[in-house]
Amino acid sequence: MIILGVDPGLTRCGVGVVEAGAYRRLSFIHVDVVRSDPHTSQDLRLKMIYDGLCAKLDRFIPDAVSIERVFAQDNRNTVLGTAQAAGMAMLAAAQRGIPVALHTPTEAKLAITGNGHAQKPQVERMVARILGLNTLPKPADAADALALAICHALRPAGALQGGEREEHLTEAQRQWAEASQRAVKAQHRKNVDRGM
């Protein structure tokens, strides 16, 4: 299974591609950043991101696209551009009939490091270790995109099958699923408190 991860952003949109083989063995395929010119109008910037993502989808033909779930941030301009870039990724995938999954940063950190509050350097090191890379993926957007692809590949079996019976999950998968659900609920509560 080939998974394309997207760390959405209007200036830099990270793209990471991994292959999940037997026993969830992961192989590195590609990492890059799709860029748009900040001096260009917003509509043309979104087209640059969309075109770049379409090119990646057509090149790698993934079985799934894993996108960071956009949540409220202090800087509303940043979150607006991020949400628009995420929308471009979802649209490009939907046009090709590729399933889309949304994962929070906490879910990705938990899947990669076992700690939903891990710092970026720790996540980058673990991404490199999991994929057998000699150097850390740079910039951070690229590492985050790979982390999202890995997160999707390592998610619990219940999430894979849309709610497989709980007794079929291992203890580690059950703990991961519970922690992921708590993280999503906590983020939802924050958004409600902020009036989002």
66: nearest Cα among 139, 130, 3: 3
Q: State yes or no: is 68 an active-site residue.
A: yes
Give me the helix-helix angle, 120-131 and 140-154, nearest 10°.
Answer: 60
Cβ neighbours for 140, distance < 8 A, ≥ 6 positions apart: 14, 120, 124
Q: Which residue ranges make up the annotated binding site?
A: 7, 68, 141
CB 155 within 8 A of CB 111: yes
Active-site entry in 7, 107, 124, 144: 7
Cβ neighbours for 74, distance < 8 A, ≥ 6 positions apart: none
Active-site entry in 68, 107, 124, 144: 68
Active-site entry in 107, 124, 141, 144: 141
Q: Which residue ranges make up the annotated binding site for Mg(2+)?
A: 7, 68, 141
Q: State yes or no: is 7 an active-site residue.
A: yes
Question: Does residue 139 have a cis peptide bond before it, meaning omega lies within 30 degrees of 0?
Answer: yes
Catalytic residue list: 7, 68, 141
